């Protein structure tokens, strides 16, 4: 199938601060894949490849030189203000430029992008509506027939409801941007990773979680053989499954591992899991190790049952401990993810560090509790938000006043967690023992 009219599309991933990772823009690569299938000329402009200086002039030059008439921004919670401001400036400079916004923030909070300069907000599940638009044109009568799009007629926004949840992609990603950006691709101290997605949303409902609201809040899984075919075609030794939780259906995971082993696909896999799956299913871990799983990111979140209950995590401190042990026994690294609550006392910070030491947890990441707009936590805390600017929504900033200490002391204690834990990770990485899960010392 061919697109209706020759258009040139520039897909932009805005840069945001991240010292932990810089990975390929998978969402945009799926759109680039769709454009490739339809014969639409398209390029990804990944701002992560450039410095922050002269951002606007660099982007303007790109649009001008390339003769792009459509620009699509990929929006995260921490880039929405930048996108809105940049769209205003672009529209002044290029009045005929058609500006679209999509991505997770548009999917959840599409109304935030209803500005004069933005022409289309895409909040649908999956890419079917976008495919129809590319085929039939960006005309009001075409847009009016689609699901999950917002557009303007006579300066009034028209909102089309989302379509049904999706359970697969309609194309393969075009990984040109991945190959181009490989030199700058990294996860802190782990090297470069390609990313893949094997499911949509999450079957659980933690109060602070943004991911579980995706795909209309419905968890679906891609056919596992399709996922394996895609993995096999990726020419990179390390793959990160960015599924919100990859380990849900034990039989599916087993099938995945068996086929990976059968087909002799040799990769280092990294994936997210809940602690309860790991605590309850130690028998699958040897097979996962054999298939190449070396890293699991575990949402441990907290070390007190009260806080875990408050997050609606449906786990416990004991479950967390068991999950860490099961992974270590099977030589798979547990990357512990913690949410530092604004309710934490000095004692809670101490308890958290004590838990990390006691359980010989080497790899850890701390995020400050942030009630992202669209989550249940946002509804609970919206009256108490402070400095709730999009660029501060990254888990590194305070957005609710700490209850048991000053903001200054809270930040000092968060930094102290890093100071107490990261030198050891760096040291063990230098001595090439950071993946030895039985080792306890610094070397
Ligand atoms: S935090 Fe993890 S387990 Fe909880 S809803 Fe989000 S993705 Fe699911």
Structure tokens at 25: 């823009």
| Intra-chain end-to-end CA distance of the chain, in Å | 58
- Residue located via tokens 């990975």: 23
Angstrom distances, CA of residue 95 to CA of 73, 283, 308: 17, 60, 50
Of 203, 209, 220, 311, best ligand 1 pocket probe by most atoms within 8 Å of the beta carbon:
209
CB distance 205 to ligand 1 below 6 Å = yes
pLDDT (average), residues 148-176: 97
Closest by CA to 224, choosing from 238, 212, 241, 211, is 241
> What pLDDT does 259 receive?
98
Q: State the pLDDT confidence band at 3, using cuts at 50, 70 and 90.
A: low
Q: What is the mean pLDDT of the chain?
A: 96
Going from the Cα of 320 to the center of ligand 1, the distance in angstroms, rounded, reads 14
Read off the pLDDT of each residue in 388-417 and give the average, rounded to a whole number: 95
* 204 ligand 1 Cβ < 6 A: yes
Q: Kindly tell me if the per-residue pLDDT of 276 is higher than 70.
A: yes
- Ligand 1 centroid vs 296 CA: distance in angstroms? 14
* Cβ of 245 less than 6 Å from ligand 1: yes
Q: What whole-number percentage of the chain has pLDDT above 70?
A: 99
Answer yes or no: is the C-beta of 376 below 6 A from any ligand 1 atom: no
How confident is the model over 233-245, as pLDDT tens digits? 999 999 999 999 9
> What integer pLDDT is reported at residue 4 of this predicted model?
53
Averaged pLDDT for residues 412-433: 97
Residue owning the nearest CA to atom 3 of ligand 1: 204
Q: What angle do CA 241, 247, 253 make, to 5 degrees?
A: 90
Distances (CA, A) of 139 to 113, 130, 145, 147, 410: 20, 12, 10, 14, 52
Check whether 2 has a pLDDT greater than 60.
no
**Where is average pLDDT lowest: 113-117, 196-200, 207-211?**
207-211
The domains found in the chain, sorted by start residue, are 8-159 (3.40.50.280), 185-430 (3.20.20.70)
Q: What digits encode the pLDDT tens for the residues 33-73?
A: 999 999 999 999 999 999 989 999 999 999 999 999 999 99
- The pLDDT tens digits for 331-341 are 999 999 999 99
Q: Is 202 in the pocket of ligand 1 (CB under 6 A)?
A: yes
Cβ of 315 below 6 Å from ligand 1: no
Length of the chain: 443
pLDDT digits (tens, 9 = 90+) for 328-371: 999 999 999 999 999 999 999 999 999 999 999 999 999 999 99
Instruction: Supply the pLDDT for residue 172.
Output: 97
Rounded to whole angstroms, the Cα distance separating 6 from 316 reads: 56
Q: Quick one: average pLDDT of 218-241?
A: 97
Tell which atom from ligand 1 comes closest to the C-alpha of 274: 3
Look at the block and give the residue holding tokens 């990111």.
297
Q: Is the dihedral of CA 358, 363, 369, 373 positive or negative?
A: negative
Task: Report pLDDT digits (tens) over 86-97.
Answer: 999 999 999 999
Q: Cβ(41)–Cβ(35) under 8 Å?
A: yes
Q: Confidence band (pLDDT; 50, 70, 90) for 17?
A: confident
Which atom of ligand 1 is least distant from the CA of 208? 1
DSSP label at residue 18: -
Q: What is the pLDDT at residue 179?
A: 94
- The pLDDT-based confidence of 5 (bands split at 50, 70, 90) is low
């Amino acid at each position: 199938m061919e697109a209706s009219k020759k258009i040139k599309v520039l897909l932009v991933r805005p840069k945001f601060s991240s010292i932990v990772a810089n990975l390929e823009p998978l969402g945009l690569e799926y759109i680039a894949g769709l454009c490739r299938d339809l014969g639409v000329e398209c390029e990804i402009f990944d701002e992560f490849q450039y410095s922050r200086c002269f951002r606007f002039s660099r982007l303007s030059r790109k649009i001008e030189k390339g003769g792009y008439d459509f620009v699509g921004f990929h929006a995260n919670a921490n880039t929405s203000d930048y996108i809105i401001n940049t769209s205003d400036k672009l529209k002044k400079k290029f009045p005929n430029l058609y500006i679209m916004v999509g991505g997770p923030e548009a999917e959840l909070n599409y109304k935030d992008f209803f500005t004069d300069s933005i022409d289309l907000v895409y909040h649908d599940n999956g890419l079917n509506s976008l495919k129809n638009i590319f085929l039939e044109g960006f005309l009001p009568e075409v847009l009016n027939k689609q699901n999950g799009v917002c557009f303007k007629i006579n300066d009034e926004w028209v909102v089309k409801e989302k379509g049904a949840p999706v359970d697969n992609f309609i194309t393969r990603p075009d990984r040109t941007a991945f190959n181009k950006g490989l030199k700058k691709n990294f996860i802190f101290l782990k090297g470069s990773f390609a990313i893949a997605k094997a499911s949509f949303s999450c079957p659980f409902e933690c109060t602070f979680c943004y991911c579980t609201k995706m795909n209309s809040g419905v968890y679906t899984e891609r056919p596992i053989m399709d996922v394996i075919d895609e993995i096999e075609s990726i020419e990179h030794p390390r793959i990160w499954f960015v599924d919100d939780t990859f380990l849900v259906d034990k039989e599916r995971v087993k099938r995945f591992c068996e086929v990976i082993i059968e087909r002799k696909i040799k990769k280092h896999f990294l994936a997210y899991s809940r602690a309860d799956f790991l605590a309850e299913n130690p028998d699958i871990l040897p097979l996962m190790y054999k298939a190449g799983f070396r890293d699991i990111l575990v949402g441990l979140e907290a070390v007190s049952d009260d806080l875990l209950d408050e997050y609606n995590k449906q786990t416990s401190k004991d479950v967390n401990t068991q999950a860490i042990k099961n992974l270590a026994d099977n030589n798979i690294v547990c990357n512990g993810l913690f949410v530092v609550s604004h309710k934490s006392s000095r004692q809670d910070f101490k308890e958290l560090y004590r838990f990390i030491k006691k359980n010989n947890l080497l790899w850890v990441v701390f995020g400050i509790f942030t009630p992202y707009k669209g989550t249940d936590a946002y509804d609970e805390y919206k009256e108490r938000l402070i400095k709730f600017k999009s660029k501060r929504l990254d888990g590194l900033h305070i957005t609710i006043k700490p209850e048991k200490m000053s903001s200054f002391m809270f930040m000092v204690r968060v930094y102290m967690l890093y100071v107490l834990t990261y030198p050891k990770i760096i040291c063990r990485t230098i001595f090439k023992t950071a993946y030895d899960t039985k080792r306890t010392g610094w070397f």
